[in-house]
Structure 1
């Protein structure tokens, strides 16, 4: 495999979004005196957040609707009375505080050190532009990457093929010498495969995957077996 360029997703792939997000909510709730059981809140919030991100990828909700709606629906579901004004404050503080936490998945530095010697590394992310760079700098991985392509800079979101094509053009790469690594089968893996890119799926939750179109790994160190 003549790989020269490795494109990574960020959240849920290198940056441990769930752990960092949980810590962020704890910080925001403490600051705003939100008296809810955090685990009960998160049990409702996490699937709702996934639904909203899917709608966001499909251009069915805006960024502001995502930020407000996922919180409003969660508080309603747990019967916690809260004003729209406070929801807006929480939404803003959540985004502000999120990059303060910098937990990465196991072996992130090991695999980035290994790959950096051999390949040009890049990020393709659907995450909000103002947050992603802060996350990468806070967790000390920003310097590993030559190009960082955000969906907001393109004006479209993965799995839209134009995002991947734009990323390849930005990195001066092509489908033959590049590979995509990410956690979302829909956004990262199928999106990449649909334009002819090879792909590796990060399956850190050990879900049952049946596909011969791509390989799934349970640890970042397994990338060494494929490139």
Structure 2
């Protein structure tokens, strides 16, 4: 069913528009060569992706700092693979990861079709828990920055989704009414519950196609947004 009262569409970035998994894989390939890390990349990524998700959940809930996130996800992944290296190497890899990551430009399938379709009908915005400089560089290098009127990051807001303050900050920047706004994202807790509790409507992007939730609007591909918008 179409959402008829919407004027503003807010997107999450990673795993929603920007292909985080693919871009992250390319980044690790580059920095492992630079630092001469002798691990099988696919085996490392299988371990790292789960650990990274755990650390982002801790970060969203203010259980770890940015620095702990950046260090811990690598240290725990290496420990899990019984690969020993120094803290200096881990800190160097972490720094290079954030430097190399935004240079990769892969977008999720349908991004470059759905954004022009929506731009003619709504004002588009970003709300992201990512780091300010990194997220802006991702948008710019992948060629989609100009689609968005505002970008609100957790670093700017001082809190992370699902905290209502970041949604209120984003609405204020966008000069948008919550009841005329919709949030689209891949994280049920951060994007869907966070936005709904702040008065926005929501569309859950079941990025990993694992949802067991039936009572919410949801899509499995970006092109499916045309059902609602």
TM-score between both structures, scaled by the size of structure 2: 0.97
Spell out, residue by residue over 1:14-73, the C-alpha distance to the aligned partner (whole angstroms, 9 max, x if none): 000000001100000011110011111111111111111011011111000000011011
CA distance in 2: counterparts of 1:2 and 1:216, whole angstroms: 18
2:205 to 199, 202, 205: 202
**Structure 1 alignment gaps of length 5 or more:** none
SS at match of 1:179: strand
SS at match of 1:127: coil
CA distance in 2: counterparts of 1:155 and 1:180, whole angstroms: 20
Q: Give the corresponding residue for 2:66.
A: 63
1:223 to 211, 222, 225: 225
Write the mapping of 1:42-191 to structure 2, written as runs, cut at 5 A. 42-191=45-194
What's the C-alpha RMSD, in Å, of the aligned pairs? 0.8
SS at match of 2:105: coil
Structure 1 residue 175 displacement after superposition:
1.4
Runs of 4+ off more than 3 Å: none
Q: Give the corresponding residue for 2:24.
A: 21
Structure 1 residue 206 displacement after superposition:
1.4
> Is 1:41–2:44 an aligned residue pair?
yes
CA distance in 2: counterparts of 1:92 and 1:60, whole angstroms: 21
CA distance in 2: counterparts of 1:110 and 1:59, whole angstroms: 36
| Residues 142-151 or 73-82, more deviating | 73-82
**Structure 2 alignment gaps of length 5 or more:** none
CA distance in 2: counterparts of 1:44 and 1:205, whole angstroms: 17
CA distance in 2: counterparts of 1:82 and 1:96, whole angstroms: 21
CA distance in 2: counterparts of 1:32 and 1:125, whole angstroms: 30
SS at match of 2:199: coil
The count of residues paired between Structure 1 and Structure 2 equals 226
